[in-house]
Structure 1
C-alpha cells in the first residue's frame, strides 16, 4: 500500500506544483526576466556571447522534452515496481555464483543469501506483481515511443505478474532454492531477468544518445546564468547548493491569511503554527492520511501533555519558518540562536510549490515539527521516557 501511496503522492505533488506555478504567475515572471536579459544581451558588447543563448536553451528543451517524460516514468517504475531492480541486481550475482566450482560456491553462499535477505525484506509478491503490471502499463501509455525503452514497449503489461511469478526471482524462497540448485542455463533463460536486463540496457543506450544534448544544455545554462549575473550586478542571486551540506538562516514567520482557511480558536491570528486539537479534528478512522492510533487519541482527550504543553495551554505540533526547503532536506534540525534544537524540517507549504522553479520570499516557507511534539511522542505515546532522561532540555 505504501508503494501505491508514494506514486499517488508523487503525481499529487506534481499537480500541486503546476497549480502553484499558475496561481503565483511564475511563468510570466520568468518571461519578464528573460525579456530584460535580452535587452542587455543584444548590446554590442554582449551580443556575441549572450544574444543567442536563450534560443539555444529552447532548442535543447525541444530535443529532450519527451526524454524527460521518459525519465520521470522510468524513475517511478524503478522505485515502485521492485521486481525489475530485484531481478537486475540479483541476476548478475546469481550468474556469477552459478559459474563457480564447488569451493567457489561455498565461499560465495553466505554473501549471496545475505543479499537475497536484504532484497526481499518486506517483499509482498502479490503487491509487486500488481505494481509491475500497473507501472509498465502506465509507462506504455505516457511515454513517447521514440524515447521509450523498446523492451518495456514490447512487453505484455497485463500479464507481467504471471511472468514474474514463474521467475527465479518470484519470491525469497524461489531465489534461495536457486542458490541450493544453481543452473546457469535456467537463469540465462529467466523471462523476468531478460525484461530487467533489456530495460537497463535501453536506459544506458538512451543516456548515450542524449549525452551531447545534455552537455550542450549544461553549457548554455552556464552562459545564461553568467549573463544574468553580469546584467544585474546589484542582484543577490539564489545559490544552487543542491546535493550539498548547507546551513541557512531564517526566522519563524507567518503566511498571508487566506479567506478559504479558517484557522480558528487560539490560532486565529497566528497562522504560523498548528496544535494537536487540529490533528484530532481531521481524524478519520481507516483513512491513510488522517487516521490516528487510539492511544494517541486517549492522551489528547486526557490532555496528558506532561511538560511539553505551551504556556498558553495548547500542545504544539508544527510551525512555519521562512527558510527554503527542497527534496532531501526532510529531517534537518531547526536550531535557535543559541544552538538549541527547536524542531525538525519536513515539508514546504502548498502555496510555494512553485519554489521548484523560482524562490518567492513572500510565500516560500518550511514546515517544521515542533521539538516539544517530538519529545511528547517519545515520552508519552512511545513510553520511552528513559530516552528523555538522557537529554538536556532547555526551557
Structure 2
C-alpha cells in the first residue's frame, strides 16, 4: 500500500486539484488529521456531526441485511439502498403473473408494502477500543482458545448490554490484522418491507456488459421501510400491527447536485479489503482464488443463462443467483488484470524490502513487528496446492446445486422430528422449496461441477465416489448424475431421512456423496489449519511493522463490514490521454437504448426512452450543466458491502448512492490506486426523477421532501 499523504497536519492544506485520499476510517476514533483534510476539501460541519451526537450522520446509515449499506431518508423510516441490494427481495416476491423484477413495484399505501423474510437493517449505536482487555485474555493462547475466548467475551458483553436495553447486541472484532480489537454495539430492526423498485431494465441497466465499467447510466436503487413496535418505536418481529419506524433524525436529500472538485463522502459498511496483504498473499489471490472463481463460474454462468433464456419461470428462479455469481466473476477477471498491469506484486515486494531494512535498523527487536519474510514465502508456497483444492471445492460443491446443498446438509446435521424417546424413528426432511430451483438445470449443474473438479484437481483431492464414476460409469459424470437423481430421495418432496438408523440412512446415495464431499474439505482443511494460522501470525506482524514504521501518519484498518467513512472529491480520471468525465447525462442512456437490438443489456421499456428523452427535467435538472445527470464519479475509497452507501456533500446532504467501482482499479481491495480508483454513484436526482415521473410515487416524494 502506498504512503498516505497525511504526513503532518500542517501539510494538509493541499491544492484544489482533485486527488484520491485512501482510507476507510472508523468514526469513533477518526484522526484529527483526517478531519482537517476533510474540512480543507469542503466539509462544512463540526466533527461531532459524524459520530456520538444525537443528530450524527452515522445514526441514520444502516447495515442492510448483512451484505450492503443503506440510509434512512424520511421521518417514517424509508431506507434507500441499491437495486442490486434489494434484488433478492424483489426476486422473492416475483412470479410469472406478478413479475416485479421485470415490471417494477410501488406500494401506494402502507398496507401494500411487502414484508421480507430474513432481512433486516442494523444501526451502529456505539464503538470502542477494547484491545488491552482482549490482549490480557488471549495472551499465550492457541488460535482455537483465542476464538473461544472472543466468543465468550462477545456473549458476556451482549448479556450485559441487554440488561440495559434488550434490543441491543455487541460484536467484538479484530482490526489491523488482529493487532487491535473493537467492540461495536448494534440495534437490529427485522421488519423490513419493500416499498418501491424500478424495473430491472433500469435498476440493473447495462447488466454484465457495463458492470464495473464507466461510463454508467444504471438507476441502481430500491426503497424499503423499517417497521417498529407501535408502543416502543423499537425493534419487533414482523407483525401486521407494527407501524413505520420514526427515527429522531434522517438524511436530508439534496437537489443541489455537485460540481467537479466538490467535497464528497461515503459512510457505509465495506465488506473486506486486504491492503496490508503481503506480496505472497497477493500472488495467491491472483493465481488461486481469482483464477479458480473465473474458471468455474464460466461454466456455471453459461449453464444458468442457457436455461434462463429458454424459460421465464427459470429466469425468475435463478436471476438472483446468476447476478450474485456474475458480479465477482467479473471482479476477479478485472482484479487480475489490474494486478498484472500495474505490477502490483513487484511493488509490494519492493515495499517489503523497505520494511525489512527498517526492521534491520531497530536496535531492539519487537516480537510484534519482527516479520520473517522467508518464512512467510515458504508458508504460502506450502499452502498453494491445498488452497487451490479448497478454492475449487467451494466453487464446485458448496451450495452450487440443490442436490449438493441438501447432500451436505444431511451430513452436517439437521433438526430432527419425531419421537425423541425412539431415536431410530426420528427423521429430518427438507422444506418444499421446489419453486426456487429447476430440476433439469440442477442435474446438469451437478454433473458439470463434478466433471470440472475431476479435470482441475489431482486425484488425491477427489472424493471417493469419483472411483465409482470411473469404474461403473466409464468416467461419465453425466451418466452418474442421471443415476444419482433417479436413485436418491434427496430432491423428492416429503422424503424422510432416518439419520439414527445408519443402515437405512446410508442407503441413499446422496448421503454418500455429501459425506465424501465433506470428508475432502475436512482433510484438506485440517492440513491447512496450522499453515494458515502461521501465515496469519506473520501477516499480523507485517501490518504492525508498517504502522510502526509510519507512525507519524494515520492508518486505517482493513474493511471488515463495520461502519467506515471515506472522503474525497467529485471528479473523473485520466486513462492515458482520455478524460473519463465525472458524470453521465440522460442523452447517454438514450444512445444506449438505441443499441438494444445488438446489446440485450441495453434493452428497456419504451416508456424509459420517452422519460429520458424529455426536453425539460424540471427541478431534477442540474443547474450547472443544464442536463439530467444520471451517475457520477468520486474518489471515495469503497469496496463490496459499500453498495447502497449514502454519498454526502459538504453540508451532510444526500447527493447519491454508491453502487460500483471502475474496471481500471479493480485491484483496490488489495491496493488503492490513487490515480484510477473511483466510486460510481447514482445521482439522487435520477432516483427521485424515476420515483416521480415513472412511479408517480407522490406520497414518497412528499415524505422524503427533497430540497
Considering only aligned residues, what root-mean-square deviation do their CA atoms show, in Å? Answer: 3.6
Q: CA deviation at 1:153?
A: 5.1
The Cα of 1:122 is off from its aligned counterpart by 2.0
Shift of 1:303: 5.2
One of 621, 630, 635 as aligned partner of 1:322: 635
Q: Which of 355, 362, 366 is equivalent to 1:37?
A: 355
User: What per-residue deviation string (whole Å, max 9, x for no partner) do you get for residues 61-102 of structure 1?
Assistant: 112122332333233332433321133336777783377689
Tell me the residue number matched to 1:86: 406
The match for 1:275 is 585
Q: Which of 62, 66, 73 matches 2:392?
A: 73
Which blocks of at least 5 consecutive residues in structure 1 are unaligned?
A: 262-268
Hey, what does 1:253 align to over in structure 2? 571
1:105-128, CA deviations, whole angstroms, 9 ceiling, x for partnerless residues? 99x99xx6xx624x4452112222
Residue pair 2:444, 2:478 contacting (<8 A) in 1 also:
no
Residue of structure 2 equivalent to 1:353 = 666
Q: Structure 1 residue 286: deviation in Å?
A: 7.8
Deviation, 1:21, is 1.6
Distance in 2 separating the partners of 1:390 and 1:70: 53
Alpha-carbon distance in structure 2 between the residues aligned to 1:63 and 1:255: 41
Map of 1:122 onto structure 2: 436
Structure 2 residue ranges without an equivalent (≥5): 1-304, 306-318, 470-475
Counterpart for residue 291 of structure 1: 603
Distance 1:82 1:41 in 2: 52
Give the match's secondary structure for 1:343: strand
Show the 5 A alignment for 1:77-226.
77=396, 78-89=398-409, 96-97=416-417, 116-117=431-432, 119-146=433-460, 148-151=461-464, 154=467, 157-159=477-479, 161-163=481-483, 165-166=485-486, 167-170=488-491, 174-176=492-494, 178=495, 187-226=505-544
From the two aligned structures, give the one with the greater helix fraction. 1
TM-fit CA distance, 1:182? 11
Q: Secondary structure, in 3 states, of the residue corresponding to 2:361?
A: coil
- Could you say what secondary structure the match of 1:150 adopts? coil
Output aligned runs, 1:374-393, within 5 Å. 374-393=687-706
Q: Distance in 1 between matches of 2:599 and 2:419?
A: 50
Name the SS of the counterpart of 1:368 in structure 2. Answer: strand
Preserved contact between residue 319 and residue 367 of structure 1 (Cα < 8 Å): yes
Comparing 326-335 with 44-53, greater Cα deviation is found at 44-53
User: How many residue pairs were aligned?
Assistant: 374
**Higher RCO (C-alpha under 8 Å, 6+ residues apart):** 2
> Matches of 1:193 and 1:382 in 2, distance apart?
50
Cα distance in 1 for partners of 2:572, 2:478 equals 49
Q: Which moved more, 1:79-88 or 1:353-362?
A: 79-88
Does the C-alpha gap of structure 1 residues 168 and 62 become closer, same or farther in structure 2, counting only changes over 3 Å? Answer: same
Query: Is the 2:662–2:679 Cα contact (8 Å) retained in structure 1?
Result: yes
Is the Cα contact below 8 Å between 2:371 and 2:538 reproduced in 1?
no
Cα distance in structure 1, aligned partners of 2:407 and 2:609: 43
Change (3 A) 1:135 1:43: same
CA contact (8 A) 1:82 1:128 kept: yes
User: Could you tell me how far 1:16 is from its partner in structure 2?
Assistant: 1.3
Task: State the SS of the aligned residue for 2:338.
Answer: helix
Q: Cα–Cα, structure 1 residues 287 and 69, in superposed 2: closer, same or farther, change >3 Å?
A: farther
Contact 2:587/2:613, CA 8 A, preserved across alignment? no
